[in-house]
């Protein structure tokens, strides 16, 4: 379980395909290698992936490797990652940690797309730039997106500003643009979408009542 608060930006430095449709990725990060464990869960641009190897880097920080199976490769953006791809990272939530975002499972529901990026403030002076992104989601998932609700896109917990059909907008403040990969986001980019957990269960309960169980 995660909160959608990105703690580092990792970079894919190696990609290797293995028999059975398995792909292993090595990612560089700024985490202390002493705090990483085999089998640990790290959200990499949204998907919860398991650490299968790790170690220190010569210039500080760590590297870790994760395996992505065919299901993950087919249903997320992981299959398109190449050397140099930058990904938002978050370590799994610990009991007692601050829940500053919202509960995020790391189980990706679908892939969304940035339709446009608009500059809200120019970034002049000490405040930095603010940007509004308009995003389109797969139509079956649009019912889970609510104005002022929460959504996780590429692992970042964001507040929905407006909703219109299968599109919605989010506003990113200068801090978020600076400390996540969203600073590089452009129209046409594909995003891993993790809908709000409570919205998913509420929809399922409503379906159950309508179907008489």
- Other beta carbons within 10 angstroms of residue 195's beta carbon come to 25
CA atoms of 128 and 173, how far apart (whole Å): 8
Active site annotation includes 133:
no
Assess whether 159 carries a catalytic annotation. Answer: yes
Residue given tokens 């801090």 in the structure block:
175
Query: Residue 116 is inside which H or E element, if any?
Result: strand 110-122
- Closest by CA to 151, choosing from 113, 103, 115, is 103
- Helices (H) and strands (E) counted in the chain, each on its own, are 3, 12
Neighbours of 171 (CB within 10 A): 16
Which entry of 159, 162, 178, 202 is annotated as an active-site residue?
A: 159
Q: Is 44 a catalytic residue?
A: no
In the set 107, 119, 122, 202, the catalytic residue is: 107
Question: Is 50 annotated in the active site?
Answer: yes
176 is catalytic: no
Q: State the catalytic residue, choosing from 16, 30, 53, 69.
A: 69
With CA atoms as reference, report the closest residue to 133 among 118, 144, 147. Answer: 118
Helices (H), 70-213: 70-75, 174-179, 197-211
The one catalytic residue among 29, 43, 48, 152: 48
**Cα–Cα nearest to 89, from 181, 162, 151:** 181
Active site residue 62: no
Catalytic pick from 3, 41, 72, 134? 41
Q: Characterize 61-92 residue by residue with b for buried, 16 or more Cβ atoms within 10 angstroms of its Cβ, and e for exposed.
A: ebbbbbbbeeebbebbbbeebeeebbbbbbbe
64 assigned to active site: no
Catalytic center residues: 2, 41, 48, 50, 69, 107, 159
């Amino acid at each position: 379980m995660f909160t959608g608060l990105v703690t580092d930006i990792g970079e894919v430095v190696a990609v290797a395909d293995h028999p059975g449709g398995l792909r292993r990725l090595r990612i560089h990060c700024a985490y202390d290698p002493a705090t990483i464990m085999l089998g640990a869960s790290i959200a990499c641009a949204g998907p919860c992936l398991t650490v299968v190897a790790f170690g220190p880097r010569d210039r500080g920080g760590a590297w870790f490797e994760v395996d992505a199976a065919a299901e993950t490769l087919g249903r997320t953006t992981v299959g398109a990652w190449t050397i140099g791809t930058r990904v938002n990272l978050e370590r799994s939530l610990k009991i007692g940690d601050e829940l500053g975002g919202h509960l995020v499972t790391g189980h990706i529901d679908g892939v969304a797309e940035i339709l446009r990026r608009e500059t809200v403030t120019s970034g002049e002076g000490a405040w930095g730039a603010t940007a509004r992104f308009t995003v389109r989601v797969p139509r079956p998932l649009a019912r889970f997106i609510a104005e002022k609700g929460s959504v996780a896109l590429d692992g970042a917990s964001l507040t929905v500003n407006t909703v219109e059909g299968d599109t919605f907008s989010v506003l990113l403040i200068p801090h978020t643009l600076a400390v996540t990969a969203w600073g590089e986001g452009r129209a046409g980019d594909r995003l891993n979408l993790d809908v709000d957990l409570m919205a998913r269960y509420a929809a399922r309960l409503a379906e159950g009542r309508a179907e008489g169980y």
